[in-house]
Chains A and B, each alone.
Chain A
Amino acid sequence: MDLDLEKQIERTIYRAALALDTQQWNDWFALCDEKFEYAITSFSPEINKDMIYFSGDKKELKGLMDMLPKHNTDHSPLHRHTSVYTIDVAKNGETATAVSSVIVYQNMLDGQNSHLDSGESRLFVIGHYHDKFIIKDGMAKFAHREAKLDNRRLDKGSHWPI
């Protein structure tokens, strides 16, 4: 067991949370492999199906970040509270997987009534990150992230990755 590598993967997950919270997209992309793929998913007991709410690769995500400022969006910042639960490094040391719990709070800015709502924090979504890493030259980079949400109720919310 490579404890240094596990520690590095844990730090990478936390750095990603910080980069996403502060919308420093390039900092996030720097933690991701060129073949990185991302998805937001959920299981619906209502229709008894696994669902994909969003998906894209690194190129598509970069394009999205360039386009979103042209859209109308809710600008309430999101804060991700992440706890890394498990890290499993493959025997050959070339890949790893990790599961983290994530709770996302929305700090209201563009609320229903911004005079009243702004500054208030609300629970936005809960779920788990299921991450896969590729390890090259002792460096772990995100190869795949599935943000698996428990929520199926998503009100006026967010264009941004979770």
Chain B
Amino acid sequence: MKNNPPRVALFVTCLVDAMRPQVGFAALALLEQVNCTVDVPMGQTCCGQPALNSGDQDGTRQIARQNIELLAGYDHVVVPSGSCAATIIKDYPDLFESDPAWHAKAVNLAGRTHELLSYMNDVWGWRPKGVDCAETATYHDSCSGLRSLNVQAQPRQMLAAVTGLEMRPLEGANVCCGFGGTFCVKYPDISNAIVGEKAAAINATGADLLLGGDLGCLMNMAGKLHRDGSKVRAFHAAEILAGMGNGPAIGEPA
């Protein structure tokens, strides 16, 4: 592939687009290190997951068709979120089960789409070089990436190559943080109880940093940690890997 760099579309996700553009820039920096020709299609909005998980299948199909057309023609589509990548990879084909033409297109897109961290590791075998981060960190496995896409070892393997970064295991790292998309605002009491336990487990590691691969979950956990007065700071793992760990963490002013 080195002789013929793939054309990669970065699908940043609606949350990164609005709430933390730095994750998008970190993704760009990583993709450039493996010599991808990266494009950021301007017609992107959201993968459609809020509609899908609310039961609005017709609405999701409209959004999916928009994305399938937008992302046609790229060799790879890379998404800095296990949850949004899983929607494209697993749910888009299911949505068009009774529509052969669109189903074929959805399957084609699914085959080209990758979650960012597993893409860097599995496709490129990439490791950070000369990235320093003298901190202790713990890692939360977001559920969709973990269960739908098997993202678990890859971020840890890459983070192990960051100079000075000490990883500490998180008790219940594979247990949901209580975000659940619209769940967290529809049932805030339950969500709070769940993320309260998660925050306690994070604090118990004694780590300086909380890392993960999905901004929604990270915002949920970081928001709870901050509300409860914890000093733990949160980053998307891509930010650390791209050497942006010395910048502001989630919620810190620039």
Chain B associates with chain A:
no
Taking Cβ atoms with an 8 Å cutoff, the residues of B that contact A are none
Taking Cβ atoms with an 8 Å cutoff, the residues of A that contact B are none
